[in-house]
Amino acid sequence: MQPTFTWSGVAPALPEIYLAAAICVLLMVEVFFGERRRGLTGTLTLLAIAGGAALTLACAQVDARVTLFSGMYVADPLGTVLKLFAFLFLALALLYSRAYLEQRDILRGEFYVLALSALLGVFVLVSANSLLSVYIGVELLALSVYAMVAFDRTSGVAAESAMKYFVLGAIASGTLIYGMSMVYGLSGTLRLDDLAARLTEAPSLGLVLGLVFIVVAVGFKFGAVPFHMWLPDVYHGAPTAVTLFIATVPKIAYFALAFRLLAYGLGGLTGSWTQMLAVLAVLSLVVGTVIALAQTNIKRLLAYSAVANVGFLLLGFVAGTPTGYGAALYYMLAYVIVTLAGFGVVVVASRRGFEADELEHYKGFHARDPMLALSMMVVMFSTAGVPPFIGFWAKLRIIEALWETGHLWLVIIAAAASVVGLFYYLRVVKLMYFDAVPAGLPATEKRTGVRFALGLNALAVLALGVVPNPLLELCERLLG
Task: Please say which residue, 270 or 272, places its beta carbon nearer to another protein.
Answer: 272
Task: Please say which residue, 111 or 235, places its beta carbon nearer to another protein.
Answer: 235
Task: Please say which residue, 126 or 149, places its beta carbon nearer to another protein.
Answer: 149
CA 232 to centroid of chain Cα atoms? 15
Cα-based distances in Å from 452 to 96, 273, 281: 10, 43, 36
Task: Please say which residue, 17 or 294, places its beta carbon nearer to another protein.
Answer: 294
**Minimum gap (Å) between residue 192 Cβ and another protein:** 22
Task: Please say which residue, 33 or 166, places its beta carbon nearer to another protein.
Answer: 166
In contact, 320 and 440? CB cutoff 8 Å = no
**Minimum gap (Å) between residue 317 Cβ and another protein:** 16
**Minimum gap (Å) between residue 479 Cβ and another protein:** 21
**Minimum gap (Å) between residue 293 Cβ and another protein:** 5
Neighbours of 91 (CB within 10 A): 18
- Which residues in this chain contact another protein in the complex, by CB under 8 A? 163-164, 167-168, 171-172, 175, 205, 208-209, 212-213, 215-216, 219-220, 226-227, 229-230, 232-233, 272, 276, 279, 287, 290-295, 420, 466-467
**Minimum gap (Å) between residue 379 Cβ and another protein:** 18
In contact, 113 and 20? CB cutoff 8 Å = no
**Minimum gap (Å) between residue 276 Cβ and another protein:** 6
Task: Please say which residue, 59 or 279, places its beta carbon nearer to another protein.
Answer: 279
Task: Please say which residue, 160 or 194, places its beta carbon nearer to another protein.
Answer: 160
Comparing CA positions, the residue from 253, 245, 28 lying closest to residue 146 is 245
**Minimum gap (Å) between residue 359 Cβ and another protein:** 15
In contact, 179 and 219? CB cutoff 8 Å = no
